[in-house]
């Protein structure tokens, strides 16, 4: 209530010749008859307050009964809410809402965030949409003003924004690109060759010959198109049946197809249509081979809907993958600041950027607006050595430039 006391309601079922009734009291005071037309024969199932309209609703054998609260004005209890606590990328839109105990009449909401976000749809909206600038922890404050009184609630570290998974970040590696992979298999059914296991479509598959299929082992070998530090296998079996699903398997990773060495992973897949992700100690290589040793129904076939891997580029491959043609950094060597000229597109493109050391460790992330022609990065605290700045525009195109810190 407005004076800080609890208002307590008692809903009493009818029994015998006694009619149902509703009573209320303030704090520990005496019970008072509510007297608002409560159905005499009501036996209650649920009673809920609807603070938005300052009403109470009761459901029971006599239907639904609704009444204004005994006191329709009360001090709000502020409850800020967010859709989830952790988000996987600074590009995600974060949805906030007000779940406060509050009559919405004449209420004014005011949201604030710390650190300041990149975008807020409306700070006075009950349910704003927010985009944060960079990875980190963010606190939210919701203030509600009503009848000349303002009540606020701050939730410290309400939202965590994580670094987006990326093959250019070994601290948070991403899924390796399939568009540059090439597949080789030991055998295949016509129309179901190895490329179907890396086409991004789980309704197609690699399948060994339906009839006369040679016995196990079967294998699919991939040229990843680049050298990677690989840490996870993603295996999606066929989804329309169990024929050919792999049971026992071995995984090999190498930088030389003539020398596979020992397996990095050996295990058994469950007989399921769901994808399975298996983690293993990081192994560096350009070539991978998944060897099927048996099938879930003890048949000779092998099939895979999709195969993928999680990893990050090794240092040398970063220099080969990106072009320096449109980016320039100065001064070289840098002492306190490094300035990078952006591939300016007449205000049509914004950029996100990441700074990495030669070990693939992410040192800094940030954003550049559509009308910026350059970015300046404070590198004063960086040790002497070589670094890489990677830009990504909103279409997903990447740019790279190297610099040296003195």
The pLDDT of 35-44, averaged and rounded, is: 79
Are residues 208 and 285 both part of a single domain? yes
Q: What is the pLDDT of residue 17?
A: 76
Ramachandran region, residue 123 (left: φ > 0; alpha: ψ -120 to 50; beta: rest) = alpha
pLDDT tens across 242-265, in order?
999 999 999 999 999 999 999 999
Are residues 284 and 179 both part of a single domain? yes
Domain containing residue 354: CATH number: 2.60.40.3080
Are residues 210 and 330 both part of a single domain? no
Residue 332: inside a domain: yes
Q: What is the pLDDT of residue 344?
A: 58
Are residues 198 and 300 both part of a single domain? yes
Residue 226: inside a domain: yes
Q: What is the pLDDT of residue 368?
A: 86
Residue 63: inside a domain: yes
Q: What is the pLDDT of residue 320?
A: 40
Domain containing residue 250: CATH number: 2.60.120.260
Rounded CA separation 155/371 (Å) = 34
pLDDT tens across 346-378, in order?
556 678 888 988 767 788 888 888 778 889 999
Rounded CA separation 58/156 (Å) = 37
Quick one: tokens of 167? 């093959």
Quick one: tokens of 315? 């240092």
Confidence of residue 71 (pLDDT cuts 50, 70, 90): confident
Confidence of residue 345 (pLDDT cuts 50, 70, 90): low
Q: Which of 68, 98, 114 is the last residue of a domain?
A: 68
Q: Which of 281, 315, 349 is the last residue of a domain?
A: 315
CA atoms within a 13 Å half-sphere pointing along the CA-CB vector of 67: 18
pLDDT at 193 over 60: yes
pLDDT tens across 223-233, in order?
998 889 999 99
> Which DSSP state fits 317?
H
Are residues 40 and 151 both part of a single domain? no
Rounded CA separation 77/153 (Å) = 9
**Bridge partners, 46 (sequence order):** 59
Residue 44: inside a domain: yes
Are residues 329 and 267 both part of a single domain? no
Task: Give the residue from 176, 181, 174, 177 showing the smallest Cα distance to 206.
Answer: 181
Mean pLDDT (the chain, rounded): 88
Are residues 334 and 398 both part of a single domain? yes
Instruction: State the residue for tokens 């059914």.
Output: 189
Quick one: tokens of 261? 């060495």
Residue 169: inside a domain: no
Residue 74: inside a domain: no
Of 33-37, 72-76, 97-101, which has the strongest mean pLDDT?
97-101
Are residues 309 and 327 both part of a single domain? no
Residue 166: inside a domain: no
Are residues 179 and 309 both part of a single domain? yes
Quick one: tokens of 400? 């790279």
CA 194 to chain centre: 31
The pLDDT of 136-163, averaged and rounded, is: 94
- Give the range of the structural domain holding residue 307, as residue numbers without chain letter: 174-315
Q: What is the pLDDT of residue 396?
A: 65
Are residues 23 and 156 both part of a single domain? no
Total domains in the fold of the chain? 4
The pLDDT of 43-63, averaged and rounded, is: 88
Q: What is the pLDDT of residue 150?
A: 95
Q: Residue 230 to residues 200, 223, 251, 285, 291: CA-CA distances in angstroms?
A: 19, 13, 12, 8, 17
* Higher per-residue pLDDT: 217 or 3: 217
Residue 73: inside a domain: no
**Bridge partners, 218 (sequence order):** 292
Q: What is the pLDDT of residue 291?
A: 98
Are residues 182 and 307 both part of a single domain? yes
pLDDT at 323 over 50: no
Rounded CA separation 150/40 (Å) = 41
Q: Which of 116, 133, 161 is the last residue of a domain?
A: 161
The pLDDT of 118-145, averaged and rounded, is: 94
* Higher per-residue pLDDT: 2 or 160: 160
pTM score, whole prediction: 0.55
21 and 72 Cβ atoms separated by less than 8 Å:
no
Confidence of residue 133 (pLDDT cuts 50, 70, 90): confident
Q: What is the pLDDT of residue 395?
A: 64
Q: What is the pLDDT of residue 141?
A: 98
Domain containing residue 89: CATH number: 2.60.40.10
The pLDDT of 278-288, averaged and rounded, is: 95
Are residues 302 and 186 both part of a single domain? yes
């Amino acid at each position: 209530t407005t004076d800080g006391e609890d208002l307590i309601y008692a809903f009493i079922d009818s029994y015998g010749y006694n009619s149902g009734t509703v009573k209320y009291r303030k704090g520990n005071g005496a019970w008072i008859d509510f007297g608002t037309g409560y159905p005499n024969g009501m036996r209650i199932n649920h009673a809920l307050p609807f603070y938005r309209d300052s009403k109470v609703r009761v459901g029971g054998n006599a239907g639904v009964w609704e009444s204004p609260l005994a006191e329709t004005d009360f001090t709000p209890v502020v409850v800020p809410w967010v859709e989830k606590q952790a988000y996987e990328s600074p590009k995600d839109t974060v949805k906030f809402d007000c779940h406060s105990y509050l009559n919405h009449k004449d209420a004014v909401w005011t949201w604030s965030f710390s650190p300041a976000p990149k975008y807020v749809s409306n700070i006075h909206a009950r349910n704003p949409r927010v985009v944060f600038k960079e990875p980190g922890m963010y606190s939210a404050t919701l203030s509600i003003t009503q009848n000349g009184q303002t009540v606020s609630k701050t939730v410290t570290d309400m939202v965590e924004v994580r670094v987006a998974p990326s093959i250019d970040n070994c601290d948070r590696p991403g899924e390796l690109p399939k568009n540059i992979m090439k597949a080789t298999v030991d055998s295949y059914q016509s129309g179901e060759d190895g490329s179907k296991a890396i086409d991004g479509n789980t309704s197609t598959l690699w399948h060994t010959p339906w009839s006369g299929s040679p016995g196990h082992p079967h294998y699919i070998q991939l040229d990843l198109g680049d050298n990677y530090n690989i840490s996870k296998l993603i295996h999606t079996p066929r989804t329309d049946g169990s024929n050919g699903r792999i049971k026992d398997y071995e995984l090999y990773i190498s930088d030389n197809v003539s020398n596979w060495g020992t397996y990095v992973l050996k295990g058994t897949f469950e007989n399921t249509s769901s994808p399975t992700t298996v983690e293993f100690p990081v192994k560096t290589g350009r070539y991978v081979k998944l060897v099927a040793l048996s099938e879930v129904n003890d048949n000779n076939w092998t099939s895979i809907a999709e195969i993928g891997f999680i990893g990050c580029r090794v240092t040398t491959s970063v220099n080969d993958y990106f072009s320096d043609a449109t980016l320039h950094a100065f001064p070289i060597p840098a002492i306190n600041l490094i300035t990078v000229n952006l591939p300016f597109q007449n205000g049509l493109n914004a950029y996100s950027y990441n700074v990495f050391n030669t070990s693939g460790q992410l040192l800094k992330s940030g954003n550049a607006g559509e009308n910026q022609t350059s970015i300046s990065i404070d590198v004063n605290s960086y040790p002497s050595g070589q670094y890489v700045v990677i830009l990504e525009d909103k279409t997903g195109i990447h740019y790279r430039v190297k610099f040296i810190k003195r």
